[in-house]
Amino acid sequence: MTEDDEGDAEPMSRSEPEREHREFVAVTRSLTTTVENGSFGDRVLAEHMLRVLGAASQILDQHPVDDRGRCVACRHQRNSVWPRRRVPCVVHDTFAYYLKGRCRFLNLRPSGR
């Protein structure tokens, strides 16, 4: 945990989602480098990890968040005169749950596996 994590009980600042997104990308890249360098041990497991990390990296690239934790991909698309509902990014909240142990909007629970 870093010093920035101490305020998790406090509401997030407007730039917090963007900072977290950059942190999630950095963690994904760091894990990928660790696996690529052979620090993982089992080769078959390492290959599977690289595939999963590649998928996670691609998903993060497709869901950059704004200062309120929203991304264009997760905004509700409607064909009506009413404005689009502003919803938080599902990907961002999922990464926050699994990497930081909390999420702001979604009702996520461990899968039990």
Q: Which of 2-6, 59-63, 84-88, 103-107 has the highest mean predicted lDDT (pLDDT)?
A: 59-63
Q: How far apart are CA 101 and CA 88, in angstroms?
A: 17
Helices marked H in the chain: 16-36, 43-62, 90-100
Residue among 106, 16, 18, 13 nearest 66 (CA): 18
Q: Give me the amino acid identity at 42.
A: D
Q: How far apart are CA 75 and CA 59, in angstroms?
A: 15
Contact 103, 16 (CB under 8 A): no
Say if residue 82's pLDDT is above 80.
Answer: no
pTM over 0.95: no
